C-alpha cells in the first residue's frame, strides 16, 4: 500500500516541474514572438500567459508554506510585506520604463530588466530561507498590479493597440484578487503596523541580501544569455526547437531528483536485517511512484520530442538523462555522509559535487545546440545558489508535508546557515518521510 505522504510529496514535486517548465516554455516562446511577430496584442497575450504560469506556481507554493511551516517567532507579516514592497516597487517601475523606452531593442530590454528583477527577488528568497514566511506571492502580485497601472499609463500616452490594455488589465485583476484572497484567508495582521520597523526591516533585508547578489546576477545570466545567443545567431526554427528541448529536459529532470531523494537518505539508516527489509520496501514503493511519474512525463513530452528532434538525437538525450541519474544520486549520498560525519563544509562540498556532474551533463546536452557558454554560466550560478542562498533547503522544504516539523530555530546569522541548523532542518524533513 502506497504511503500517502510519499505520494503527495512526489505529486507536488511533479506538478512543480510541469508548471515551471510550462512557464519556461511560454517565456521562450515570447522570444520567438519578439523576433517574428509585430502584433503587440498577441505579444502581450503571450507575456500575460507566461506571467500567469509563474504566478500560479508561486501561489500554490506560498499556500504550502502557510499550511505546513510552524513558526514560533512573532513577526508582523504586513511589516515584512511593506519592507519588501519598498525594495521591489522601484525596481519594477524602472523595468517598466526600460521596457517601454527600449522596446525596439530586444537585447537591451531583456538583459537590463532581467538583472533588475532578479536582484529584487533576492531579498524575498533570503527572508524565506531564514524560516520566516515573507508572503512573497502577495508582494509579487500587488507590485505587479501597481506596475501594470504604470504600464497602462505609458501605453495610453504611446497609443498602442487596445489589446495591450486588455491583457494588462486582466493580469492586474487576477493578480490583485489572488493577493487579497491570500491576505484575508490567512488573517494577516492589518493593524499595529510600525512604520519605523517597516523601514528598518527594508534596510536589514537589503544589507543581508548583498552578499548573495552575485548569485542572482549569475543565475539570470545563465537564464537569459543562451536565449540571446540563439535569438541573435540562429533562425526562428532553431529557437523553437531549443525552447521545446529545454522544456523536455526540465520535466524529465524530476525523475533523477525523485530517485535520489528516495534512495540517498536510506544509506545511513540500516542497522539490522529487519530495518533493511523495511527500507527496501520503502525504496521499491518510491521507485514505483517515481516510475509512474516518469511514464506520464514521457507520454506528455514524446510528441514534442519526435516532432522537433530527430530519432537519433532523441535517443542521445534520453541516454544522457539516464546517465545523469547516477551522479545526482551520488551527490545526495555524499551529502548524507558529510552530515553524519560532522563535516562543517558539507554544503559547499555537496554543491561542488552536484555542480561538477550537472555541468558535464549540460555540456554534453548543450553541445548538440552549440551553446557552450550556457553550461559554464550554469555551473557557476549553481555553485553560488547552493552555497549562498540555501535554495536547496528552501525548495525541498516546500515539497513534502513533513515540513510541519520545521521550527523557527532555523537561523541565519550572517549570509549562510550555520551547520547545525542545516543538519537539523534536513533531518526533520527527511527522517519522517523515509
Specify the pLDDT at position 101.
53
Average pLDDT over residues 85-96: 50
Specify the pLDDT at position 149.
52
Grid cell in block for residue 291: 516510475
Which tens digit of pLDDT belongs to each residue from 279-334? 444 444 444 444 444 444 444 444 444 444 444 444 444 444 333 333 334 444 44
Average pLDDT over residues 392-402: 33
Average pLDDT over residues 93-109: 49
Which tens digit of pLDDT belongs to each residue from 205-264? 455 545 444 443 443 344 444 444 444 444 444 444 444 444 444 444 434 433 433 443
Residue with cell 499609463: 153
CA angle 160, 165, 167 (to 5 degrees): 125
Grid cell in block for residue 73: 517567532
Specify the pLDDT at position 405.
27
Q: 192: alpha, beta or left, given left = phi > 0 and alpha = psi -120 to 50?
A: left
Specify the pLDDT at position 203.
60
Average pLDDT over residues 44-57: 41
**Residue predicted with more confidence, 94 or 410:** 94
Specify the pLDDT at position 156.
53
Specify the pLDDT at position 200.
64
Which tens digit of pLDDT belongs to each residue from 161-205? 444 444 444 444 444 444 444 444 433 343 444 556 655 655 654
Nearest to 92 by CA among 120, 65, 112: 120
Indicate the domain borders of the chain. 238-389
Q: What percent of the chain has pLDDT over 90?
A: 0
Q: What is the pTM of this model?
A: 0.27
DSSP string, 301-363: HHHHHHHHS-HHHHHHHHHHHHHHHHHHHHHHHHHHHHHHTT-TTHHHHHHHHHHHHHHHHHH
Amino acid at each position: 500500500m502506497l504511503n500517502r505522504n510519499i505520494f503527495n510529496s512526489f505529486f507536488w514535486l511533479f506538478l512543480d516541474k510541469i508548471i515551471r517548465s510550462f512557464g519556461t516554455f511560454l517565456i521562450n516562446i515570447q522570444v520567438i514572438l519578439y523576433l517574428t511577430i509585430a502584433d503587440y496584442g498577441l505579444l502581450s497575450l503571450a507575456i500575460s500567459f507566461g506571467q500567469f504560469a509563474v504566478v500560479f506556481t508561486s501561489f500554490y507554493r506560498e499556500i504550502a508554506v502557510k499550511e505546513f511551516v510552524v513558526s514560533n517567532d512573532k513577526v508582523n507579516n504586513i511589516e515584512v510585506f511593506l519592507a519588501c514592497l519598498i525594495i521591489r516597487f522601484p525596481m519594477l517601475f524602472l523595468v517598466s520604463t526600460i521596457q517601454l523606452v527600449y522596446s525596439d531593442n530586444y537585447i537591451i530590454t531583456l538583459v537590463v530588466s532581467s538583472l533588475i528583477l532578479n536582484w529584487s527577488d533576492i531579498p524575498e528568497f533570503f527572508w524565506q530561507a531564514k524560516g520566516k514566511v515573507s508572503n512573497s506571492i502577495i508582494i509579487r502580485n500587488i507590485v505587479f498590479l501597481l506596475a501594470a497601472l504604470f504600464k497602462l499609463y505609458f501605453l495610453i500616452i504611446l497609443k498602442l493597440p487596445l489589446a495591450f490594455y486588455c491583457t494588462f488589465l486582466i493580469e492586474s485583476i487576477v493578480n490583485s484578487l489572488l493577493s487579497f484572497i491570500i491576505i484575508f484567508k490567512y488573517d494577516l495582521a492589518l493593524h499595529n503596523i510600525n512604520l519605523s520597523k517597516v523601514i528598518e526591516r527594508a534596510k536589514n533585508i537589503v544589507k543581508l541580501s548583498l552578499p548573495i547578489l552575485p548569485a542572482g546576477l549569475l543565475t539570470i545570466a545563465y537564464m537569459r544569455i543562451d536565449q540571446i545567443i540563439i535569438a541573435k545567431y540562429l533562425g526562428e526554427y532553431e529557437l523553437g526547437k531549443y525552447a521545446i528541448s529545454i522544456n523536455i529536459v526540465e520535466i524529465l529532470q524530476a525523475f533523477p531528483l525523485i530517485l535520489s531523494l528516495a534512495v540517498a537518505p536510506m544509506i545511513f539508516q540500516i542497522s539490522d536485517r529487519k530495518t533493511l527489509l523495511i527500507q527496501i520496501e520503502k525504496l521499491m514503493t518510491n521507485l514505483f511512484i517515481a516510475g509512474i511519474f516518469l511514464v506520464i512525463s514521457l507520454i506528455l513530452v514524446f510528441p514534442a520530442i519526435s516532432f522537433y528532434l530527430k530519432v537519433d538525437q532523441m535517443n542521445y538525450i534520453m541516454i544522457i538523462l539516464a546517465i545523469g541519474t547516477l551522479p545526482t544520486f551520488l551527490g545526495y549520498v555524499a551529502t548524507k555522509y558529510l552530515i553524519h560525519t560532522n563535516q562543517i563544509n558539507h554544503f559547499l562540498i555537496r554543491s561542488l559535487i552536484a555542480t561538477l556532474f550537472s555541468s558535464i551533463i549540460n555540456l554534453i546536452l548543450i553541445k548538440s545546440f552549440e551553446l557552450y557558454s550556457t553550461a559554464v554560466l550554469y555551473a557557476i550560478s549553481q555553485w553560488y545558489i547552493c552555497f549562498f542562498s540555501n535554495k536547496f533547503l528552501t525548495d525541498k522544504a516546500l515539497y513534502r508535508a513533513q515540513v510541519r516539523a520545521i521550527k523557527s530555530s532555523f537561523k541565519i546569522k550572517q549570509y549562510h546557515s550555520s551547520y547545525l541548523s542545516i543538519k537539523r532542518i534536513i533531518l526533520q524533513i527527511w527522517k519522517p518521510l523515509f
